[in-house]
Amino acid sequence: MFFASCLISFLSVRVAAEYPWTFDNDLFGGPDFWGLVNKHWRMCTVGQMQSPINVDPGRLLFDPGLSPLVIGHQHVEAELRNTGQLPIVTVNESSARFDPNSESLTVVPRIVNITGGPAAPYNFRLHHVMFHFGRIRDNEKGSEHTVDRVRFPAEIQMLAYNSDLYENFTQAMIQPKGLLGVSVIVDIGDQSNAELRKLTVASQSITYKDAVTTLPRFHPVELMPKTINYVTYEGSLTYPGCYETVTWVVMNNPIYITKDDLAMWNDMQQTEQKQPNPVFMSPNYRPLKPLNNRLIRTNINIRQSNAATSGSCPSNIYLNNGYRSNPLKVRAPNRSAGARHARRASAEDDVYDEAYVASEAALGTSIESF
């Protein structure tokens, strides 16, 4: 079956049965151990351009050459699967249609291209969409990227491969300029994004590991927020083997989901069938990684916005253009309510401090130029 083989081909996860892994850092196989359990995942431990990162609004570099990101508006057939670690939508890149003239089935390409912005001059073909979320019953947030050290309830990540340079995702994920990751933050609202609502309903049929459901008319562009603003940096996959081949684009506005709908995603389990003591999938995010002198570019004209807001600092400009970046006004910094991820909060504080110091020399002069 296309979907099964496609999923196996792209996710080193499926090297899997031999090398089980998890997002739970209190277990062997958690993020701190990824680089130790499989030699092909060594980059998870030694890599210097790892993801996710904290986006510090005060340290963004405006790049006037960054155009808006353009995502195709096609509806595509796709498959939603519970991998045990996270739910993944895999796009079927071709569909069979009956041709009445030849009385035969014809394979018709069904692709969604992503172009513009940091993707230029290449075309990137959407391959899969991943969902990261916290444990709403424990008040734990689940986005992988944070903004001004604030974690959000969930994050949707669209992964696309460079179809101009490479034949498929498997080839592209280990090669330069191979992948594009589009990150959409998900926040709590009074009404869920319509496309996300459809996926939420579909998720109820994949509660257990390896469960699958078909999405006949998946519309990826409808998961995008109504903004052209974003930040971008060079990073990695956030699951094993952590290949540093991803250009990340973090959109500057969220989409929304209701608390009840987010709780439905929390029903997903890591086990293959109902157990007396269920092991839930959430939270399923990788801890933050150091910036290590990488630049975070943006298409938000900080100088222009600064003049319009009477000399506001870049952090406030970012607030005015998208996320409210002040955790004291919006929400407290994430702290795990349970033991499962108890070490994350303090560890991520250390990562943030290291990243800030490491990037000071590289970014300080450039920021002052604004």
Which residues form the catalytic set?
A: 166
Token pair of 166, please?
């490479």
Q: What is the DSSP letter of 187?
A: E
| Enclosing H/E stretch for 127 | strand 124-133
For 200-261, give the DSSP string. HHHHTT--STT-EEEEEEE-GGGGS-S---EEEEEE--SSTT--S-EEEEEESS-EEE-HHH
List Cα–Cα distances, 161 to 113, 115, 330, in angstroms. 9, 11, 35
Judge whether 15 and 170 are in contact, CB under 8 Å.
Answer: no
Residue pair 246/51 in contact by the 8 Å Cβ criterion: yes
CB atoms inside a 10 Å sphere around CB 370: 14
What is the CA angle 339-147-160, rounded to 5?
Answer: 95
Is-contact 226 165, C-beta < 8 A?
no
Q: Are 77 and 92 within 8 A, CB to CB?
A: yes
Q: Tell me the torsion sign for CA atoms 21, 25, 27, 28.
A: positive
Q: Which string of b and e fits 99-111 if b means at least 16 CB within 10 Å?
A: eeeeeeeeeeebb
Are 221 and 115 in contact by the 8 Å Cβ rule? The answer is no
